[in-house]
Amino acid sequence: MTYEKSIEKKGHMHFNISEKVVHALYGVGTINKMVIQESPVGDKHLYYEILFPNTTIWSPVNLLTTKLRSLSDRDELENCRQLLKSSPEPLNPDPRNRKSDLVDHIKIGTLMARCEVVRDLTGHKKNKPLSEVYSGLLNNTKELVYEEWAAIECISSSDAANEIDTLLKNNS
């Protein structure tokens, strides 16, 4: 599949303390507090301090291209269930563009986009073993999907993984 490379820019996102959010790279975290940090040139900026299981990051509050978003809702989760059961789309046949297409699609940052990549790489794996690079990409993307799925459903990541893996087994 050739994924579209356009990433929708969103306006200012404001989150509450203790709210669960999704970071494009780190997955699901919790807003701990807002802090003011000074840049090396003396400018002061407001940041969210976000706690993740193994790290803490600071993300600017007023950044138009923020890498943060709210958790997906249950409607999107239901759409993802249907998507994971559907037939995978073929990957880009050009090996020079395949990885960048997949990575660009993941960068869209939505749960649906990540589920599409998981579905398609899993489908590809059924026909031909994945290289180490694609296996790593699949495993990392699955972990992000498991985390968000678990947070939405208020279940463990392993329960989310079991449901997702079952859905993938049943796809055409």
Does 14 fall in a domain? no
Residue 115's pLDDT band (boundaries 50, 70, 90)?
Answer: very high
Q: How many CB atoms lie within 10 A of CB 79?
A: 15
Which tops the pLDDT comparison, 11 or 37? 37
Tens digits of per-residue pLDDT, 75-95? 999 999 999 999 999 999 998
Does 2 fall in a domain? no
Q: Which of 147, 144, 153, 142 is nearest to 120 (CA)?
A: 142
* CATH code for position 36: 2.40.10
Does 4 fall in a domain? no
Q: What is the DSSP string of the chain?
A: ----------------TT-EEEETTTEEEEEEEEEEEE-TTS-EEEEEEEE-SS-EEEEETT-TT-SEEEPP-HHHHHHHHHHHHSPPPPPPS-HHHHHHHHHHHHHT--HHHHHHHHHHHHHHHHHSPPPHHHHHHHHHHHHHHHHHHHHHHT--HHHHHHHHHHHHHT--
Same domain, 50 and 103: no
The pLDDT assigned to 63 comes to 62
What torsion, rounded to 10 degrees, do the Cα atoms 141, 147, 150, 154 define? -160
Same domain, 125 and 44: no
Q: Which of 70, 73, 52, 53 is nearest to 153 (CA)?
A: 73
Same domain, 86 and 39: no
Instruction: Count CA within 13 A, CB hemisphere, residue 117.
Output: 30
Does 149 fall in a domain? yes
Q: How many domains does the chain have?
A: 2
Tell me how far apart the alpha carbons of residues 52 and 49 are, in angstroms, rounded to a whole number.
10
Domain boundary among the residues 70, 94, 109 is at 70
The pLDDT assigned to 8 comes to 32
Domain enclosing residue 29, as ranges? 20-70
Does 51 fall in a domain? yes
Does 78 fall in a domain? yes
Given a cut of 50, whether residue 7 has pLDDT beyond it is: no
* In contact, 1 and 89? CB cutoff 8 Å: yes
Given a cut of 70, whether residue 37 has pLDDT beyond it is: yes
Complete edge-to-edge strand list for the sheet that includes strand 20-23: 56-60, 44-51, 27-38, 20-23, 68-70
